[in-house]
Amino acid sequence: SQQGEEDPQALSIQEGENATMNCSYKTSINNLQWYRQNSGRGLVHLILIRSNEREKHSGRLRVTLDTSKKSSSLLITASRAADTASYFCATLNFGNEKLTFGTGTRLTIIP
């Protein structure tokens, strides 16, 4: 079964707007990671947030983590056409060394 669930499943916004994607997970984690996948390509690591962190920034990306609610959000500010991709959250449980992915959010930026 999937550990994470992204919300929404699909999102279309105008270029320049902000995009927010949410991820919920089920079990205790050591870290949560966000990945981007362009159509027909591999996964690219975006940002990692540890379980003892609440917020992290990287360029136009902002990630939050609420371990009490078992949820995370990814905010992309000032979106660009090149941000069009699928975005996945993934959680790592060191107890069994499994990196478990959500089902992804398909983001489309309209020029």
Question: Where do contacts with other proteins occur on this chain (CB under 8 A)?
Answer: 1-2, 4, 30-31, 33, 35, 41-45, 48, 50-52, 88, 90, 92, 94, 96-104
CB of 2 to other proteins, least distance (A): 6
CB of 24 to other proteins, least distance (A): 13
Main-chain phi, psi angles of 82, to 5 degrees: -70, -10
Nearer to other proteins, 97 or 111 (CB): 97
CB of 34 to other proteins, least distance (A): 11
Q: Where do we find the tokens 């905010």?
A: 75
Rounded to whole angstroms, the Cα distance separating 84 from 39 reads: 9
Nearer to other proteins, 15 or 93 (CB): 93
Rounded to whole angstroms, the Cα distance separating 32 from 82 reads: 24
Nearer to other proteins, 15 or 64 (CB): 64
Rounded to whole angstroms, the Cα distance separating 63 from 72 reads: 7
